[in-house]
Amino acid sequence: MTQDSQLPDLLPAAELSLCLSRAFLAPQAGVTLAEAQGPLLDDLRSLAETLPTLDTERLDALSRALAALTDSQQLILGYSRLFLTPPAPAPLNLGAYLDGGLMARSVPSMEALYLRHGLERDPTFLDLPDHLSLHLQWLAWVYSEAMEARETGTDATPALTDAATMLHDLTLPALAGVRRKVTQAARDEITLPWRLLIELTHDQLTHDLACLEAALPSLASRATPPPKRRNVNTVETFEASEAPRETLSCRSCGEAFESDPVMAEMRQRLSAAGVSADHLAVCPGCRDGQDGPTTLRPPGAGLKAWQ
């Protein structure tokens, strides 16, 4: 169990994740240049006092990059040039960097972590479940869960462990690929704001992981994923886990069921960290039942960009 003195204040990081999540949904969310120059920058500046990644130099560079654009069409064209238009150099579907293709082996692992916290994709979300924006929304939700646990005096370790696992095993290895591709892409004015936002996202999530590992020292001993090119054979995925399967009793309905590879791996990791894995003992029927997940809409934090 984490001690309150070790638990970082994750609410500013949750708010930043929400800001960035909406930014990376620009075409779907209808983000305009005026919103990016106004509410988005205002939110980032308001968080700068608590988040060291939001230094003055970075915010000024982003402000200048946005000011250099003439209209919302240029903002979306820059987004499309980097992330959408085939052959886009840096798609935001993270599984492509982990597995070398879309909807591959890492995606069920991501969805299992979404569902573990009672979340699923909003039906109106038009992209795949490995989109960077969903990772950022999920992180905001789980960070908020951990803060709520601290306020109520309950154990925040399961939420912190899942957040660290997502960051270490999935989000950051893939985001390193996005960052590398973006760095190699054309250095024109209309893509510059998006290149700066990718850099900010990578740096902030790296900082988040360091804070989580400091709060959970047992996680810090894990091997760091190699920063070089990754392929299907070198990617760590839960689906390939050799963790022992267990026959468990569902804590919702009481029926016996066998753990799948994802659950087996997560239970083994929690056990190794000295953390109870009892909260994972929910059978597939109860996870998918009528009282199951809510849609992936993270808690608001009074951010202008989400109004």
Element (H, E) at 141: helix 132-152
Q: What pLDDT is stored for residue 142 in this prediction?
A: 94
Confidence class for position 297, pLDDT limits 50, 70, 90:
very low
For residue 240, the one-letter residue type is A
Q: What percent of the chain has pLDDT over 70?
A: 70
- Whether 105 shows a pLDDT value over 50: the answer reads yes
Q: Is 67 in a helix, a strand, or coil?
A: helix
Encoded tokens for 126: 């038009």
Q: Write out the two tokens for 108.
A: 């069920």
Question: pLDDT tens digits, residue range 235-273?
Answer: 234 445 577 888 888 766 778 888 776 567 666 655 654
C-alpha span between 62 and 266 (Å, rounded): 39
Please say whether the beta carbons of 27 and 80 come within 8 A.
yes
Confidence (pLDDT) at 255: 81
Measured CA angle at 96 (ends 140, 226), to 5 deg: 80
> Which residues pair with residue 120 across a beta bridge?
295
Q: What is the pTM of this model?
A: 0.73
**Res. 215: pLDDT tops 90:** no
47 burial via Cβ count (<10 Å: 0-12, 13-18, 19+): buried
Burial of 101 (0-12, 13-18, 19+ CB in 10 A): exposed
Burial class (CB in 10 A: 0-12, 13-18, 19+), 242: exposed
In the structure, what pLDDT confidence band is assigned to residue 111 with cuts at 50, 70 and 90? confident
Strands 294-295 and 119-120: parallel
Residue 307 has a pLDDT of 45
Q: How far is Cα 16 from Cα 41, in angstroms, rounded to an integer? A: 11
Grouping H, G, I as helix, E, B as strand and the rest as coil, residue 182 is: helix
Q: How far apart (Å, rounded) are the C-alpha atoms in residues 104 and 96?
A: 8
| Radius of gyration, CA atoms only, the chain | 19
Q: In the structure encoding, which two tokens stand for residue 79, read together?
A: 């987004």
pLDDT, residue 236, reads 37
Question: 280: pLDDT confidence band, cut at 50, 70 and 90?
Answer: low
Query: At residue 202, does pLDDT exceed 80?
Result: yes
- Res 66: pLDDT: 98
Please determine, for residue 159, whether its predicted confidence score (pLDDT) is greater than 80: yes
Helix (H) or strand (E) holding 256: strand 256-258
Averaged pLDDT of the chain: 79
- Quickly count helices (H) and strands (E) in the chain: 14, 4
Cα–Cα dist 29/117, whole Å: 24
Residues 128 and 25: beta-carbon distance below 8 Å: no
Tokens found for residue 228: 């070089």
Q: What whole-number percentage of the chain has pLDDT above 90?
A: 46
Q: Answer whether residue 115 shows pLDDT above 60.
A: yes
* Cβ within 8 Å of residue 152, ≥6 positions away: none
Q: What is the residue type of 163?
A: A
